[in-house]
Amino acid sequence: MANKGPAYGMSRDVQAKIEKKYDDELEDRLVEWIVAQCGAAVGRPERGRLGFPVWLKNGIVLSRLVNSLYPDGSKPVKIPDSPPTMVFKQMEQIAQFLKAAEDYGVVKTDMFQTVDLFEAKDMAAVQRTLMALGSLAVTKNDGHYHGDPNWFMKKAQEHKREFTESQLKEGKNVIGLQMGSNKGASQAGMSYGRPRQIIS
């Protein structure tokens, strides 16, 4: 992690709220998936909240993860022979993972920022991105996902419907229920209280 001094006041409160969103059980599930997806060669992080960001920080594990979701001929992220040691190279590797994850289908609102991981500022956001990536991989069901499919929820999929011209014309004659109905309704016999009294 970068050398940071202690946080005080509102900064400390904000950081505490962010850290509460981090899920230790989810971390275990994500580690199991990454190892199942990439193989034992990626290793495992040390137990605890500090081990997970250190394991992912140089971007190599993340790059291998996203590459494993593609067929052999089309790997989106170039992985260097030796892990990058320079800070800007590590951040560049993380940025390449984020671009590849977005191309895979992860929406921008589920993406973490490079600094969230690199400085371990918001590891809950990193978990959210990995969950979205796993959910997409399970949903696509193209044979590249490895691991237990129950680890992630399937995303809702589009179900297109085709209507013939005659079906569309028929639909114009139907009054939808949201329009209301007046069948059997009248104001006959309705009275609203006593009639107005005029006293002279």
Give the three-state DSSP class for 191: coil
Band of pLDDT at residue 1, cut at 50, 70 and 90: very low
- Look at the block and give the residue holding tokens 């500022």: 121
**pLDDT, the chain, mean:** 79
Q: Which domains does the chain have, with CATH numbers?
A: 11-151 (1.10.418.10)
Query: pTM surpassing 0.85?
Result: no
What is the average pLDDT across 126-149?
A: 85
Q: Tabulate helix, strand, coil % of the chain (nearest 5).
A: 50, 0, 50
Looking at residues 191-200, what average pLDDT do you find? 73
Per-residue pLDDT, 6: 60
H helices present in 123-164, as ranges = 123-140
Mean pLDDT computed over 37-64: 85
- DSSP annotation string for 88-106: HHHHHHHHHHHHHHHHHT-
Q: Give pLDDT tens digits for 74-84.
A: 888 888 888 88
Q: For residues 147 and 137, give the distance between their C-alpha atoms in angstroms, rounded to a whole number.
A: 11
Q: Which two tokens stand for residue 138?
A: 């399970």
Residue 39 scores a pLDDT above 70: yes
Residue 79: burial class (beta carbons within 10 Å; 0-12, 13-18, 19+): middle
Is 80 exceeded by the pLDDT of residue 14?
no
Query: What distance in Å separates the CA atoms of residue 46 and residue 28, rounded to the nearest whole number?
Result: 11
- Residue 18, pLDDT > 70, answer no
